[in-house]
A and B are shown apart, each in its own frame.
Chain A
Amino acid sequence: MSALLEVSGVSVTFDGFRAINNLSFNIGIGELRAVIGPNGAGKTTFMDIVTGKTRPDTGTVTFGERSVSLLSLSEAQIARAGVGRKFQRPTVFEDQSVTENLLMALKANRSPWRVLFWKPKVEDMARVQALAAQVGLADQLARKSGELSHGQKQWLEIGMLLAQEPRLLLVDEPAAGMTLAEREQTTAMLVDLAKTRAVVVVEHDMEFVRRLNCKVTVLHEGSVLAEGSLDHVTANPQVIDVYLGRG
């Protein structure tokens, strides 16, 4: 399995604080991966680096078969290259309807001139319908997304990510603030997603990670502490140390 995303030797420092320290991380095409770690382990910074929001001081980040370096691309270019990101808090455009949100995310030419004269075709509307159905919002299309419940917004956001058709999906704590039923549905959705693309789930809820049933990377103080199955890493004494404190 060749690597889709390859992060190697990345370090980043904020005001003398080393948030990411010589981090190396690979994920293959169509792989589901959970990244766990205590607060301040650098999970969010890691996602910021991959999506272009933060520039690392050293190291390389390459993506895809042709190993394109992501470090020279802007956020929008990285997104167009096929990296989707879901934020911790649901970030949908609350002032706009579900349809509008999904149409905006739909894979299409993103240049202002083309967007200005873009008209939704029948197949685009059908795709929006299908996506909405996939994330359980089929009957909410006309509503403003600000009216949706917290869980529905999370799903809408996942639906928007799907509409982007990314090859790599970065998901930040998808289960935060969800009811148990919503969590289960979310888990199913993520597992389903990982069939067609690579998914990295950042989470520190062990139960949720266990349900994902995938390879786990443990981050600590900005670098990889352990990697392997959940049972493998939870058996690691260092991981226990980090999670439970050094007695």
Chain B
Amino acid sequence: MTLLLRTLLVVLLLLPGLARAEGEAAALIEANRALIEKPSRQTIGPFIAELAASGDPMAAQILQAWEGKRLGLRKADGALFILAAEGEGFVLTDLTGKAAGTAAKADITELKPNAGVRGLIATALVQFTLSGPDMAARKAALDSIARDPSADHLGPLRGSIAGEDDAALLAQKQRLERLLTLQFDVDSAARVAAIQGFGTDLGLDVRGALNPLVATKRQALAGELPEGANLARELTIGRDLSRDEAYDLLVGAGLAPARLTLADQRAALAANLKDGAVAGVALAELATQGARDQAYDALEKAGLVPAAATEAEVDAAIKAHRFVDVYAEADPAVTAAAQAALGGIGTKVGAMQAADLALDAISLASIYFLAAIGLAITFGVMRVINMAHGEFIMMGAYTGYVVQLFVPNYTLSILIALPLAFAVTFAAGVAMERLIIRHLYKRPLETLLATFGVSIALQQLAKNIFGTQARPLTAPAWLDGAWVLNDVVSISYIRIAIFVLAMVFLGFFLWLMKRTRLGLQVRAVTQNPGMAASMGINPDRINMLTFGIGSGIAGIAGVAIGLFAKVTSELGNDYIVQSFMTVVVGGVGNIWGTLAGATLIGGLQKVIEWLNPSNTLAAQTYMILFIILFIQFRPRGIIALKGRAAGD
């Protein structure tokens, strides 16, 4: 009892308006017993509305029970109860919400309203939920209507708007009301107004509501348009639809006989095979289509097979009919407004998609740039071709994976992995320079092959150590998700981070080459090693360090790439050709060229993918073809060293 009082108290405090209605539902029901016991769709409406409007918190429970066939009449005294099945009987709750003991099954008459009535109750319930005290329930109800809208929801939704006190929910309700209005309202003007009210809103829900309005059905018509049909357009044979399609429509509509398929013809001929001939045509001669047609015509004349439409008949049938696209939506004002709205939205979506494409392109470009910047040092500055560059990227990614095995905190592990990957690949680069490349300077083709050997060996080693399946390199949670501008434009945080990383490396490279002593020495050694050596610079040491730094950057790029790509032993393979292309297309020996190359390749690849979204393989193919052609026109890349400095 105390508990109940307390609950009541809370309800009273929270909902003073509703509290006054306490017990009103029970009274209403008592007053309309007859209606409840024998409800009909025609008569019950006002009562349900009245009950719903009573403001009694029990009304919802009663309606729910009624809809769920859980309302019952105690045979003994005719009192109504909410039932809950328990064992062989029911637990009873009276209409004010108080427990009322139990009853055996035989003592209760269950009320079973028909489907029509239940529908009315359900609609009333929607309004209950929409106006109910529980915010989460209101939200859930709204979402469920948005998912599966129907004309029935419009009334309750409108009814609930006035009482909504939460601003966010109110906005959501109003938006949903307009979406429902434009789809289901009976008043044409109201629908048009609702459509126009959205302007060029980019929301997927708006497009989802508008698209069915402009959906059309292709029809073949024998005569005039049926009354009330909303014509979208008249179709011309040859331009809008082919002759075969038109005839298929006629056949589908039962307006013309089906044409003879080759398989049917074969079956018919085979069925009429007599004494090694069909209708006088010898079996052996039936190896050409002409002979078969001839035989079938003969059979047709003899009435042995059904008549098949000839080409002339097909033409005549098509000529005798009109072909139209008809809107499923009957109201021309609405379809016109929807077309206009979709047109406007389409233009805006196009612009937004272009922006999204640009963002995608920039992010792909930064990945290529990141993959290529190490090469810009080893290949671009030192002119050493390192085919194992991709494997250094792979080593960086695996370093990240190994670090995550030991450090479970993702943020910390990435922070450890970045310098560690640099250290690992720096060491690998220095080792490779000392052991292999140093002996092959001036023999670029040999360098290419030797580093290929290293690449093959490293790939297989990675396979032996880590297996062939992809290993995860997980980004910290704060890099999950995306920066969403609207339904069209969004960019994931990881890609933003990679863009930032790429810019940091660009800055680092410029600083290293232009502002440090090492950079000066590197430039001196690459331009004239002999002269540099005589100035007291040790070219061996400089080459080693430069190569190490280039490789180290590849390692860091590997960690970054591993965050969004799968870490496999073939990770490097996917980037090596693109990386070289980036450097070559951009212009060897110039970091801005590498940046331009990455932008060009990334941008172009995205544009090609956009033109042919289903096929990324084709995009890569055309990309490479483009690069091959590009090199025809700018053999030295976008930003070329000119004059004698470029050498021949």
Contact = CB atoms under 8 A, between A and B. Distances in A.
Would A and B touch once assembled, by the CB under 8 A criterion? yes
Interface of A: 14-15, 17, 19, 53
B6 interface: no
B239 interface: no
B51 to A, nearest CB: 90
A17 B644 CA distance: 11
Contacts of B644: 14, 19
B643 A15 contact: yes
A119 B404 CA distance: 70
B582 to A, nearest CB: 24
Interface in B619-648: 642-645, 648
A78 B308 CA distance: 75
**Overall SS of chain A's interface:** strand
A48 to B, nearest CB: 9
Contacts of A15: 642-643, 645
A157 B281 CA distance: 86
B643 A14 contact: yes
By CB atoms of chain A within 10 A, which of B642, B644, B645 has the most?
B644
B643 A17 contact: yes
Contacts of A19: 643-644
A107 to B, nearest CB: 26
A14 B647 CA distance: 12
B356 to A, nearest CB: 40
B449 to A, nearest CB: 20
Contacts of A53: 648
Contacts of B643: 14-15, 17, 19
A17 B642 CA distance: 11
Contacts of B642: 14-15
A163 B643 CA distance: 32
A216 B267 CA distance: 99
9 contacts: A14-B642, A14-B643, A14-B644, A14-B645, A15-B643, A15-B645, A17-B643, A19-B644, A53-B648
Nearest to B641: A15
Contacts of B645: 14-15
Interface in B10-29: none
Q: With a 10 A CB-CB cut-off, give which of B642, B643, B645 has the most chain A CB atoms.
A: B643
B648 to A, nearest CB: 7
A19 B642 CA distance: 13
Nearest to B648: A53
A15 B644 CA distance: 9
A15 B645 CA distance: 9
Nearest to A45: B644
A19 B643 CA distance: 10
A19 B644 CA distance: 10
Given A17-B643, A19-B644, 9 more contacts: A14-B642, A14-B643, A14-B644, A14-B645, A15-B642, A15-B643, A15-B645, A19-B643, A53-B648
Nearest to B643: A14
A55 to B, nearest CB: 12
Contacts of B648: 53
Contacts of A17: 643
A17 B645 CA distance: 12
A102 B648 CA distance: 25
A122 B642 CA distance: 48
A53 B648 CA distance: 9
Contacts of A14: 642-645
A15 B642 CA distance: 6
The 4 closest A-B pairs by CB, nearest first: A14-B643, A15-B643, A15-B642, A14-B644
B57 to A, nearest CB: 86
A175 B123 CA distance: 107
Nearest to B642: A15
B413 to A, nearest CB: 48
Interface in B363-399: none
Nearest to A53: B648
A15 B648 CA distance: 16
A188 B645 CA distance: 36
A71 to B, nearest CB: 18
A53 B644 CA distance: 11
A53 B643 CA distance: 12
Interface string B47-85: 000000000000000000000000000000000000000
A15 to B, nearest CB: 5
A17 B643 CA distance: 9
A15 B640 CA distance: 11
A183 to B, nearest CB: 27
B647 to A, nearest CB: 12
A15 B641 CA distance: 9
A200 B485 CA distance: 71
A211 B642 CA distance: 39
Interface in B557-583: none
B642 to A, nearest CB: 5
B453 to A, nearest CB: 26
A14 B645 CA distance: 9
A206 to B, nearest CB: 26
B641 to A, nearest CB: 8
A242 B635 CA distance: 38
A14 B646 CA distance: 10
A197 to B, nearest CB: 27
A132 to B, nearest CB: 31
B483 to A, nearest CB: 43
A180 B644 CA distance: 33
Nearest to A44: B644
B532 to A, nearest CB: 21
A155 to B, nearest CB: 26
A222 to B, nearest CB: 13
A15 B639 CA distance: 13
A14 B642 CA distance: 7
A53 B646 CA distance: 13
A17 B648 CA distance: 18
A15 B643 CA distance: 6
A19 B645 CA distance: 13
A202 B143 CA distance: 89
A84 to B, nearest CB: 19
A189 B642 CA distance: 38
B266 to A, nearest CB: 57
A212 to B, nearest CB: 28
Interface in B574-595: none
Interface string B158-200: 0000000000000000000000000000000000000000000
